[in-house]
């Protein structure tokens, strides 16, 4: 986008400024969702780009007000300019997409070749009684559009292998591993390594879950799984996947995504967060 076009958009944005309360006694200039939609339509631009122009001029879209105190205006701008892939749209992936959209991650790739079945209803946020039998990617697009229509979603209805991963995931900034078989996870990690993209791993079984962030040069899953654990499906086949566990693990994965994108905090690199909800314990294991 040229500077002249940005200036023109900014001029129109300033016509619609509102004062929003940022915190006690502190107010900021902002725009609401309807203004973003009107300007995007008028300039034939993605809504995300209108929000970026606003943020670059310290004008805050109201939907992100409660993010700013933690990640700041520059952080929010960075999220809108980022592309994150979520691979697997089950309990972990569905929750991760919901959170990434609400955060304002500007572009999300979603990959899954499956459809919803009734057994998904207990834990998968994208599953409803009305969409049983529907492709999970279609539900993901529809859900994100309802939450944050500024976010651009790119669906791939495939059970991808390593080669397909490398092609689909080009240009991503972070990849979320929300898969449920070791072979698929391994293929995804190899693709992420080849593309030089960080991977946020998550897994669940019963009341326990784990999260780790793997950079391209890290050993990654070889440090997480022992030889006996390298089976197609792990303990979740016998322990099941109760409602709360995937939501908690997905939330931790999304926090890792934010830390990686914004270069803040201390990601779980070469470390594994092990969560046991039954005993209310969290352990950090050095890998």
Give the start-to-end residue ranges of the domains of the chain. Answer: 3-70, 82-286
Q: What residue ranges in 50-106 does DSSP mark as E strands?
A: 60-61, 83-87
Q: What is the pLDDT of residues 162-184, one digit of tens each?
A: 999 999 999 999 999 999 999 99
> How much is the pLDDT for 230?
52
List the pLDDT tens digit at each of the 287 positions of the chain.
Answer: 888 899 999 999 999 999 998 888 889 999 999 999 999 999 999 999 999 999 999 999 999 999 999 999 999 999 999 999 999 999 999 999 999 999 999 999 999 999 999 999 999 999 999 999 999 999 999 999 999 999 999 999 999 889 999 999 999 999 999 999 999 999 999 999 999 999 999 999 999 999 999 999 999 988 887 554 555 555 666 677 889 999 999 999 999 999 999 999 999 999 999 999 999 999 999 99
Helix (H) or strand (E) holding 276: strand 271-276
pLDDT of residue 175: 98
Q: Which fold has domain 82-286?
A: Rossmann fold (3.40.50)
Per-residue confidence (pLDDT) for residue 1, from 0 to 100: 81
pLDDT at res. 238: 64
Would you call 102 exposed, middle or buried from its count of C-beta atoms within 10 A (0-12, 13-18, 19+)?
middle
Q: How many other CB atoms sit within 10 Å of the CB of residue 259?
A: 19
Token pair belonging to 44: 């034939």
* pLDDT at residue 236, as a whole number: 63
Q: Which two tokens stand for residue 248?
A: 């908690």
103: nearest Cα among 138, 154, 147: 147
Task: Give me the pLDDT at residue 9, please.
Answer: 96
Q: Each residue of 33-77: pLDDT tens digit?
A: 999 999 999 999 999 999 999 999 999 999 999 999 999 999 999
Locus of tokens 């805050």: 60
pLDDT of residue 160: 86
Radius of gyration of the chain (CA): 20
Return all residues near 142 (Cβ < 8 A) that are at least 6 apart: none
CB 29 within 8 A of CB 58: yes
In this structure, is the dihedral angle defined by the CA atoms of residues 60, 31, 108 and 110, taken in order, positive or negative?
positive
Cβ distance 224 to 287 under 8 Å? yes
The pLDDT of residue 196: 98
Per-residue DSSP letter, 118: G
In angstroms, rounded to a whole number, what is the distance separating the alpha carbons of residues 204 and 209? 4
User: Using CA of residue 148, residue 149, residue 150, residue 154, what is the dihedral sign?
Assistant: positive
**pLDDT the model gives residue 232:** 53
């Amino acid at each position: 986008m040229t500077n002249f076009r940005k200036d023109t958009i900014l001029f129109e944005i300033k016509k619609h400024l509102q004062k929003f309360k940022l915190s006690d006694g502190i107010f900021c200039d902002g725009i609401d969702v309807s203004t973003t939609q009107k300007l995007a339509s008028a300039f034939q631009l993605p809504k995300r780009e209108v929000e970026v122009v606003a943020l670059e001029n310290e004008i805050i879209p109201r939907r992100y007000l409660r993010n700013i105190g933690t990640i700041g205006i520059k952080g929010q701008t960075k999220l809108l300019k980022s592309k994150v892939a979520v691979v697997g749209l089950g309990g972990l992936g569905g929750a991760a997409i919901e959170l990434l959209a609400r955060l304002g991650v500007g572009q999300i790739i979603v990959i899954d070749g499956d459809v919803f079945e009734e057994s998904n209803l207990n834990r998968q946020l994208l599953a409803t009684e009305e969409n049983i039998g529907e492709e999970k990617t279609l539900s993901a697009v529809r859900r994100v559009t309802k939450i944050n229509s500024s976010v651009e979603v790119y669906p791939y209805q495939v059970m991808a292998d390593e080669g397909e991963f490398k092609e689909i995931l080009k240009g991503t900034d972070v990849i979320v591993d929300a898969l449920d078989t070791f072979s698929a996870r391994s293929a995804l990690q190899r693709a992420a390594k080849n593309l030089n993209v960080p991977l946020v791993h998550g897994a669940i079984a019963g009341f326990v879950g784990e999260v780790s962030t793997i950079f391209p040069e890290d050993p990654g899953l070889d440090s997480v799984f022992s030889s006996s654990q390298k089976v197609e499906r792990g303990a979740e086949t016998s322990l099941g996947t109760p409602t709360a566990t995937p939501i908690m693990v997905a939330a931790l994965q999304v926090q890792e995504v934010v830390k990686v994108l914004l270069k803040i905090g201390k990601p779980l690199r070469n470390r594994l967060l092990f969560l046991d909800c039954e005993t209310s314990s969290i352990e950090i294991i050095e890998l």
